[in-house]
């Protein structure tokens, strides 16, 4: 089996080691005998969203966001159709914000988003920085390979994201700030789209989430199979140690 994984704008959106998410997905495919086909696509390049299995969009600055939204607007219909068809999307920080309605900067200027998610972001007066522990919503993170009910990562954002009616967060913040530092929510899941502020990178710290993305991508192909279990002893110990250490500080 092959899985097509697209890293969108890797030259412009790659804060805090975000490309490590692609490396993790690729490695966990290879260890199971699945061939990862990695596409790196930037401004103006042809994209076949329907032909992708997983789309990854990382984080970047406000300036880069404005440029990239303009590029994506040309293909918004195709991306929306692929998402409605079950395309698995992982979007981090700036990539997460771009999928929403708009980003309002400190001067009041708004950068229009794609409007695929009913969310919007407003620049805050201070940055929300630090390690994060999230208690995952079981309905949003269920999967055969999901070992933990928690997610850990690192956030650094001034944008405060709010969710519209009918949209719920990926989980509840136990330590850190999350979407906006006000409502205890972190991230969002809509269909197979996962949005989050967690860098670090995210997936090496949360291999159970990486496997959930792979499972969803395989299921979308109509293949009824479970992923082979991997020896994640070290990864599991690191995850549990981080959760334990941070919750002691809460």
Which pLDDT score, from 0 to 100, does residue 143 have?
57
Q: Is 127 annotated as a binding residue?
A: yes
Residue 222 and residue 211: Cα distance in Å, rounded? 17
Per-residue pLDDT of the chain (250 residues; tens, 9 = 90+): 999 999 999 988 877 788 999 999 999 999 999 999 999 998 888 899 999 999 999 987 766 677 788 888 888 999 999 999 999 999 999 999 999 999 998 888 898 999 999 999 999 999 999 999 999 987 666 654 456 799 999 999 999 999 998 899 999 999 999 999 999 999 999 999 999 999 989 999 999 999 999 999 999 999 877 899 999 999 999 999 999 999 999 7
Q: Which sign, positive or negative, has the C-alpha torsion 170, 78, 214, 236?
A: negative
What CATH number does the domain containing 236 carry? 3.40.50.880
Contacts of 77 (CB under 8 A, 6+ apart): none
Which pLDDT score, from 0 to 100, does residue 226 have?
84
Residue 214 and residue 203: Cα distance in Å, rounded? 12
pTM attached to this predicted model: 0.94
CB 3 within 8 A of CB 29: yes
**Catalytic residue annotation:** 93, 199
In terms of C-beta density within 10 A (0-12 exposed, 13-18 middle, 19 or more buried), how is residue 75 classed?
Answer: middle
Domain count, the chain: 1
Residue 130 and residue 216: Cα distance in Å, rounded? 30
Which pLDDT score, from 0 to 100, does residue 225 have?
77
The residue ranges of DSSP E strands in the chain, in sequence order, are 2-8, 35-41, 54-57, 88-92, 102-104, 110-112, 119-136, 150-163, 171-175, 185-186, 188-190, 193-196
Q: Domain containing 207: what range? A: 2-249
């Amino acid at each position: 089996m092959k899985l097509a994984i697209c890293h969108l704008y890797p030259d412009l959106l790659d804060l805090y080691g975000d490309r490590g998410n692609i490396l993790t997905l690729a490695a966990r495919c290879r260890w199971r005998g699945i061939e990862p086909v990695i596409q790196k696509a930037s401004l103006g390049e042809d994209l076949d969203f329907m032909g992708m299995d997983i789309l990854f969009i990382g984080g970047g600055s406000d300036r880069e966001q404005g440029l990239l939204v303009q590029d994506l607007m040309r293909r918004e219909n195709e991306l929306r159709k692929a998402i409605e068809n079950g395309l698995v999307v992982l979007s981090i920080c700036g990539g997460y914000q771009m999928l929403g309605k708009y980003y309002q900067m400190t001067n009041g200027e708004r950068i229009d988003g794609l409007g695929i998610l009913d969310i919007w972001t407003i620049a805050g007066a201070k940055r929300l920085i630090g390690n994060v522990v999230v208690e995952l919503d079981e309905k949003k993170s269920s999967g055969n390979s999901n070992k933990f009910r928690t997610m850990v990562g690192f956030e650094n954002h001034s944008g405060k994201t709010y969710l519209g009616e009918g949209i719920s967060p990926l989980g509840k913040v136990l330590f850190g700030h999350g979407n906006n530092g006000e409502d205890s929510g972190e991230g969002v899941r809509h269909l197979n789209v996962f949005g989050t502020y967690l860098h670090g990178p995210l997936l090496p710290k949360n291999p159970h989430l990486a496997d959930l993305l792979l499972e969803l991508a395989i299921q979308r192909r109509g293949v009824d199979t479970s992923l082979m279990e991997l020896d994640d002893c070290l990864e599991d110990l690191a995850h549990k140690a981080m959760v334990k250490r941070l919750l002691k500080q809460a």
